[in-house]
Amino acid sequence: MPFSRVIGQDTPVDVLRRALRSGKTAHAYLFEGIEGCGKRTTALAFVEAAFCDRDDGCGTCPSCRKMATLQHPDLHLVEPDGAFIKIDQIRDLQRELVLRPIETPLKACIIRDADRLNPAAGNALLKTLEEPPGNALMILLTTNLDGVLPTVRSRCQLLRFAPLPERLIEEQLIAAGRDQAAARLAASLAGGSLGKALEEDEGVTVDRAGLLERLRTLSLSDTASLFAAAEEMAADREQAMEQLEVLTSLLRDVLLIQGGSNAVINRDILPLLENEAARLSRERNLERINHTTEARQALMRNANPRLTLDVLLMRLAG
Ligand SMILES: [Zn+2]
């Protein structure tokens, strides 16, 4: 997994490449960014380059080949076991890190979801971060920076990974064999996550017509059905985020229609979108896009889904 496989993350990749070239890598890094934007790919590329004799990872030496299949004996991967990363996992890691590297100049570990260390595991990891074994490279990944213990965070060099531009995701989907229209729609709904866009092979599963209908019937004078709708949407956080992504895409199309553009993405339900465009003002539509985006970001930051959706649906109805 060489650096050339990382898409659209030039800034953090440059920082890491320069650190390798100058021989001044930090002991610990914290990569922050949404799911599926390239944190893990970058971490693997970084370790591969650090392990390989040639500066950016040659891809062909025995070490690089072992990295490609994640079978390298000096690489240790940690991810949550159930909801949390547990103390036993950190103890295993510590035992591993104090051993001499087997095939390379250093040992490396990648810890996924560093915001999900339980308190005991977090404190144990802190000890290692405070007194790192001389030849260890630690990379922590998180989608939720606020959830990472401040003491852990302060001992890592933070690198931020931006959501990927739609254009890049679309290109990748087309390269992966999707037709242009499907790629465009999926890219617009992916929220900057290539991983998510690639995952959704079967395309969009949200009932877009149903969502528009719900939007049309929301009413502040019928709060019982409004809260029932919020409850239903909030039952599954992942699904709620997906619905909000789709909703954003629909409202953006409505805005395009209102502005006289024909670059609509959800072209297959154009008449429904046109109805919606005729029903409300451009200003009001913009407000709704902002509310929806805010709610989606709140869910990404782990806000309570039920509260978030109660507030959102009231705002959309008002
Ligand atoms: Zn190599």
**For 65-96, how does the pLDDT look when each residue is reduced to its tens digit (9 = 90+)?**
899 888 899 999 999 998 899 999 999 999 99
What separation in Å is there between the alpha carbon of 78 and the centre of ligand 1? 23
What separation in Å is there between the alpha carbon of 60 and the centre of ligand 1? 5
Task: Give pTM, 2 decimals.
Answer: 0.71
What separation in Å is there between the alpha carbon of 15 and the centre of ligand 1? 20
Give the tens place of pLDDT for each residue, 118-172: 999 999 999 999 988 878 999 999 999 999 999 999 999 999 999 999 999 999 9
- Whole-angstrom CA distances from 41 to 138, 161, 162, 194 are 15, 12, 14, 12
What separation in Å is there between the alpha carbon of 64 and the centre of ligand 1? 4
- Rounded to the nearest 10°, the torsion over CA 124, 125, 128, 130 is -100
What separation in Å is there between the alpha carbon of 10 and the centre of ligand 1? 21
Cα separation, 44 vs 56, whole angstroms: 12
**CATH no. of 3-160:** 3.40.50.300
pLDDT, mean of residues 12-38:
94
What is the edge-to-edge ordering of all strands in the sheet holding 75-78? 75-78, 107-111, 136-142, 28-32, 157-160
- The tokens describing 189, both together, are 């709904």
Please list all protein residues whose beta carbon sits less than 5 angstroms from ligand 1, which is an ion: 52, 58, 61, 64
Question: Greater confidence, 269 or 305?
Answer: 305
CATH code 3.40.50.300 for 206-317: no
Cα separation, 275 vs 291, whole angstroms: 21
Do the Cβ atoms of 78 and 110 come closer than 8 Å?
Answer: yes
What separation in Å is there between the alpha carbon of 228 and the centre of ligand 1? 57
What separation in Å is there between the alpha carbon of 206 and the centre of ligand 1? 44
What separation in Å is there between the alpha carbon of 59 and the centre of ligand 1? 5
Give the tens place of pLDDT for each residue, 280-306: 899 999 999 999 999 998 998 888 999
Residues whose CB falls within 8 Å of the CB of residue 79, separated by 6 or more in sequence, listed in order: 85, 111, 112, 113
Which residue from 206, 202, 199 is spatially nearest to 172, judged by alpha carbons? 199
What separation in Å is there between the alpha carbon of 77 and the centre of ligand 1? 20
> What is the b/e burial string over 169-195, where b = at least 16 CB atoms within 10 angstroms of the residue's CB?
bbebbeeeebeeeebbbbbbbbbbbbb
- Whole-angstrom CA distances from 121 to 27, 32, 87, 125, 142 are 19, 20, 4, 6, 16
Cα separation, 76 vs 108, whole angstroms: 6
Angle between helices 87-98 and 119-130 (to 10 degrees): 20
Residues whose CB falls within 8 Å of the CB of residue 90, separated by 6 or more in sequence, listed in order: 78, 117, 121, 124, 125, 128
Backbone angles phi, psi at 160, to 5 degrees: -95, 135
Do the Cβ atoms of 76 and 33 come closer than 8 Å?
Answer: no
